[in-house]
Chains A and B, each alone.
Chain A
Amino acid sequence: MAHRSGPSGFLLTTYDAAINWTRTRSMWAATFGLACCAIEMMATGAAHNDLARFGMEVFRASPRQADLMIVAGRVSQKMAPVLRQVYDQMSEPKWVISMGACASTGGMFNNYALVQGVDEVVPVDVYVPGCPPGPQSLIHGILTLQDKVMSGEIVR
């Protein structure tokens, strides 16, 4: 930060960097467990993988208190409006991780019942592949999101 020259640039970058840093270090996830992937999401938060290492162990049941929505599982046509409503209820800044093949693309269920990718309903920042993605994959997805927020790639 210190080698920035202009006074305006100096102030702005440090401010952004500080804000982004705080955002990544207290990113609370909304519980949006839908299907199989949700069990892996729970496993990620539990003892062996310990999401608390990244300041993210607080899963909030209320969308108002959450910054991050991990869509874990298949989104059916009936669930899509609910998902959108929960997303709308979250306060800015907010991010979305699409966890698993189903949430990302519909997965193996190319049929009448599923939304073929949650990005048809909400904007997605990071896609985590796998069916289900193991805890390590999810942690990688979360770290990727933190990197993106830190680097200013995602501006909210």
Chain B
Amino acid sequence: MSDTPNVVTGDLEAPTTEAPAEAESTSSETADRKREVHDMWVAGTEEPAWMRSYTDEGAQEILAAEDESAPELTRGTVVEDDFIFDDVADDDELQILNMGPQHPSTHGVLRLHLELDGETIRRVKPIIGYLHTGMEKTAETLTYMQGSTNVTRMDYLSPMHMELAFSLAVESLLGVEIPERGQAIRVLLTELNRVSSHLVWCATQGTDLGAVSMLIFGLRDREYILQFFEKVTGLRMNHNFIRPGGVAADLPDGWEEDIEAILQKVPQGVSEYEELFNGNPIFRDRTMGVGVITPEECKALGVSGPIARASGINWDLRKAFPYSGIDKYDFDVPVGKHGDVWDRYLVRMEEIKQSLGIVKQVLETIPGGDYRTTDRKVTPPPRKRIDESMEALIHHFKLFTSGFKVPAGESYAAVESPRGELGMYVVSDGREKPWRLHARTPSFNHVQALPTMMTDSLVADIVATIASADPVLGDVDR
């Protein structure tokens, strides 16, 4: 705990964290006040409105002073002796426990090999590969048009982000420009997807800690978003809707009302969860100070997304490397400071609200025009044109039989998925199919960070930590 920073600056260009010593030395009155009130501090703003408006149930009040003074031992997981593994002469003294791959709390098929010393975890080895689907290999046999069908099935909780990353990588090789409306639709769908993914996280985190009704609540609110997705894309999951060149179709009639309904229902649900969680002593005891990871460890292990932000790294690709015109919208990046499960909960809850804010802005500002590029070498012509124009017919036929060729080269595009930095690396040799596709998936790095979070904590904290890392095994194994 002592390595975690107290204050995080809002400087996006240099996503560094201040060392605790420096933070302590800035003892001006304002700094002190900030530390008291802003345990979770949104980057880039002095004192954001959402924080001020929260007077009774707000995150900042819950985390204030009281937790600072709480003895860490009462939080349950701080082990007094700092164990050095070599000390154990005899391996027989450690109990070996296998967890998974078929276990309800490992979020799919993660397997953990645990070495326990009584109640204390001394060593953790994640074993992956139980969902290895060979998707990167399959991608080499699919054309760029078909490619998003494949990648969308990697991280099945955020299919839109997978498609977007793939499309951005291919588009940067093609050099096509996406019209404003297409970009706005992309932002709308990905941000809604972030909300739905965080809702599933909420559901599973609650269930894993024994609050089984959270499973019902979280999935209930997610269903509103899935219904919207089904209306737009035709599928509830694995949409294949964002494609190289734009999106597959325009938004359906009446989408504005649907979004308004979502903007009304989901925040209601979220405030319900906060009511259930924030003051809940069991939830607080089981999450505060549990599964701690420091900013330095995050950087060393490639951890990104809400986990890194919860430990105080002010890093969000939407701000650092904006894509699809997301920089046009006004939103804040929540940053925690303890790097424990509780801070991850706060960060994700705030991200839901910020994403809904972006959705609202898209609803208000969405421009008219085309939803995909008019470059007919990349996107098919409108159905009507096929009856009228021979050229359109040929384009249509070529696109759906052999696909389009992509100039030789390589590109990497990354988006901020609900889990963290999600990147697609595409190598083209000038044909219709990628020569190589590699996905840099956030969950992979987060599973790699699990031993760091868990070592020397208690057995009971395993599920809380896994759930807070929110790994999607399809994302890990691909």
Contact = CB atoms under 8 A, between A and B. Distances in A.
Interface string A32-65: 1111101110110111100000000001010100
Contacts of A34: 108-109, 131
A36 B156 contact: yes
A45 B219 CA distance: 9
Interface stretch (B99-107, B281-289, B296-304): B99-107
Interface in A63-97: 63, 73-74, 76, 78-79, 82, 86
B265 interface: no
B133 interface: yes
Contact of B236 (A111, A113, A134): A134
Interface string B24-39: 0000000000000000
A154 interface: no
Contacts of B226: 43
Given A38-B108, A82-B101, A132-B236, A76 B129 contact: yes
Interface in A92-137: 108-114, 131-132, 134
B78 interface: no
Contacts of A82: 101-102, 130
B154 to A, nearest CB: 10
Query: Chain A CB within 10 Å — which of B103, B129, B153 has the most?
Result: B153
Nearest to A79: B130
A33 B109 CA distance: 8
A134 to B, nearest CB: 6
Contact of B130 (A46, A59, A61, A78): A78
Given A39-B200, A86-B102, A132-B236, A78 B132 contact: yes
B220 A46 contact: yes
B149 interface: yes
B156 A35 contact: yes
B238 interface: yes
A31 interface: yes
Contacts of B102: 31-32, 63, 82, 86
A59 to B, nearest CB: 8
A131 B133 CA distance: 15
Nearest to B127: A78
Interface size grouping (class) on chain B: 35 or more
Contacts of A131: 238
Nearest to A63: B102
Contacts of A73: 131
Interface stretch (B113-121, B134-142, B185-193, B407-415): B134-142
Contacts of B223: 43, 46-48
Contact of A47 (B109, B220, B474, B477): B220
Contacts of A110: 138
Interface string B202-236: 01000000000001110110110010000000001
A74 B133 contact: yes
Interface string B132-172: 11110110000000000110010011000000000000000
Contacts of A63: 102
B23 interface: no
Contacts of A112: 134, 137
A2 B200 CA distance: 51
A47 B109 CA distance: 25
Interface in B235-277: 236-238
A40 B219 CA distance: 10
Contacts of B137: 111-113
A79 B434 CA distance: 28
A61 B216 CA distance: 18
Given A35-B474, A39-B157, A43-B219, A61 B134 contact: no
Contact of A113 (B133, B473, B474): B133
Contacts of B474: 35-36
A116 B398 CA distance: 31
Interface string B377-407: 0000000000000000000000000000000
Interface of A: 31-36, 38-40, 42-43, 45-48, 59, 61, 63, 73-74, 76, 78-79, 82, 86, 108-114, 131-132, 134
Interface of B: 101-104, 108-109, 129-135, 137-138, 149-150, 153, 156-157, 200, 203, 215-217, 219-220, 222-223, 226, 236-238, 473-474, 477
23 contacts: A31-B102, A31-B104, A35-B474, A36-B153, A36-B156, A39-B157, A39-B237, A42-B203, A43-B223, A46-B223, A76-B131, A76-B133, A78-B130, A79-B109, A79-B130, A79-B131, A82-B102, A108-B149, A110-B138, A112-B137, A132-B236, A132-B237, A134-B236
Given A48-B219, A114-B134, 17 more contacts: A34-B131, A35-B133, A35-B473, A39-B200, A42-B215, A47-B216, A47-B223, A73-B131, A82-B101, A82-B102, A82-B130, A108-B150, A109-B133, A109-B135, A111-B137, A112-B137, A113-B133
